[in-house]
């Protein structure tokens, strides 16, 4: 998708948030305790289809604003409606959020983009999973093509962390608290979502009928989940403890 097309799509959006034109999704908590209302504050105004399980906003933990959203049940999750705004092609992108896990286990899922293409073919899936204290797994290109990102320290229970998955040119890397993993993924020639516009799933995995047959969400508090159609970070950085880059 060209930059001109991206700008036109943003201009035609329904949201009213103070985000830049490259923000294609922003789910911010900052609300009342126990609320189950989830909105996209980007200019696109995507529909949050299915808050599932017991996911809600909680004021007991937050990174910014007044609250965060808690996923503390194995069936918890959010689905964002499929959109061409998430059809990145061979272009850059950033998927980022703050999270504070309350427990960790191998193959706990954080988020996924996919479009139900047959057999989850090449370029039709992006997902990030916890594996252990130094390793994150990412299914990139297709749902069964796992790349392991290695860190000195990965997520810690009851501690806020910033996580960002970034495509910049021909490479995809994962950042933890602004520090890049030691092994980058070569995405040369990968055309993400050429077979159809993807949904975004935060938390528990879903299937092709948008049901929830899996029970492996990474439990904890999530805040400021944001997707951009540019590479926000091209090297190590210091995550902002205020609103993420490009916002007011």
Using H for helix, E for strand and C for coil, what is the string for 77-115? EEEECCCHHHCCECCCEEEEEEEEECCCCCCEEEEEEEC
| DSSP designation for 33 | T
pLDDT for the residue numbered 224: 94
pLDDT for the residue numbered 166: 97
Residue 11 has pLDDT above 80, yes or no: no
| DSSP designation for 48 | B
In the structure, what pLDDT confidence band is assigned to residue 86 with cuts at 50, 70 and 90? very high
Taking residues 166-174, what's their average pLDDT? Answer: 96
- Residue-wise pLDDT for 222-244, tens only, equals 999 999 999 999 999 999 876 54
The residue among 133, 101, 115 whose CA lies nearest residue 199 is 115
Residue 208 burial (C-beta neighbours within 10 Å; 0-12, 13-18, 19+)? exposed
- Residue-wise pLDDT for 18-36, tens only, equals 479 999 999 999 999 999 9
Which range has highest mean pLDDT (52-66, 143-157, 163-177)? Answer: 163-177
pLDDT for the residue numbered 10: 37
Residue 16 has pLDDT above 90, yes or no: no
Residue 133 has pLDDT above 80, yes or no: yes
- Give the C-alpha separation, 70 to 222, whole Å: 6
**What residues form DSSP beta bridges with 77?**
52, 203
What's the mean pLDDT when you consider all of the chain? 83
pLDDT for the residue numbered 14: 32
pLDDT for the residue numbered 52: 76
Which element (helix H / strand E) includes 76? none
User: Which segment of 149-158, 169-178, 202-211, 234-243 scores lowest on mean pLDDT?
Assistant: 202-211
Where b means 16+ CB within 10 Å and e means fewer, 112-121 reads bbbbbbeebe
Own/partner pairs, 181-184, CB within 8 angstroms, 24+ separation: 181/136, 181/149, 181/150, 181/151, 182/149, 182/150, 182/151, 183/147, 183/148, 183/149, 183/150
pLDDT for the residue numbered 33: 95
Percent of the chain topping pLDDT 90: 54
Q: For the whole model, what pTM was predicted?
A: 0.87
Residue 6 has pLDDT above 50, yes or no: no
Using H for helix, E for strand and C for coil, what is the string for 131-192? EECCEEEEEECCCCCEEEEECCCCCCCCCCEEEEEEEECCEEEEEECCEECCCCEECCCCCE
Max intra-chain CA distance, the chain? 45
């Amino acid at each position: 998708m060209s930059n001109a097309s991206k700008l036109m799509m943003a201009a035609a959006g329904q949201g009213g948030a103070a985000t830049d034109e490259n923000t294609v999704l922003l789910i911010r908590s900052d609300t009342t305790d126990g609320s189950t209302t989830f909105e996209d504050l980007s200019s696109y105004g995507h529909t949050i289809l299915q808050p599932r399980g017991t996911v809600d906003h909680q004021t007991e933990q937050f990174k910014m604003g007044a609250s965060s959203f808690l996923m503390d049940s194995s069936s918890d999750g959010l689905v964002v409606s499929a959109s061409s705004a998430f059809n990145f092609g061979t272009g850059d992108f950033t998927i980022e959020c703050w999270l504070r896990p309350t427990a960790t286990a191998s193959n706990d899922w954080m988020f996924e983009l996919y479009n139900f293409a047959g057999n989850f073919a090449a370029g039709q899936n992006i997902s990030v999973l916890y594996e252990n204290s130094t390793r994150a797994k990412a299914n990139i290109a297709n749902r069964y093509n796992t790349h392991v990102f290695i860190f000195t320290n990965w997520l810690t229970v009851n501690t806020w962390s910033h996580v960002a998955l970034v495509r910049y040119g021909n490479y995809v890397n994962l950042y933890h608290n602004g520090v890049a993993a030691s092994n980058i993924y070569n995405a040369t020639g990968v055309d993400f979502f050429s077979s159809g516009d993807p949904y975004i799933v935060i938390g528990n995995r879903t299937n092709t009928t948008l049901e929830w047959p899996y029970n492996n969400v990474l439990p904890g508090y999530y805040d400021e989940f944001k997707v951009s159609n540019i590479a926000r970070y091209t090297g190590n950085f210091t995550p902002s403890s205020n609103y993420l880059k490009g916002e007011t």
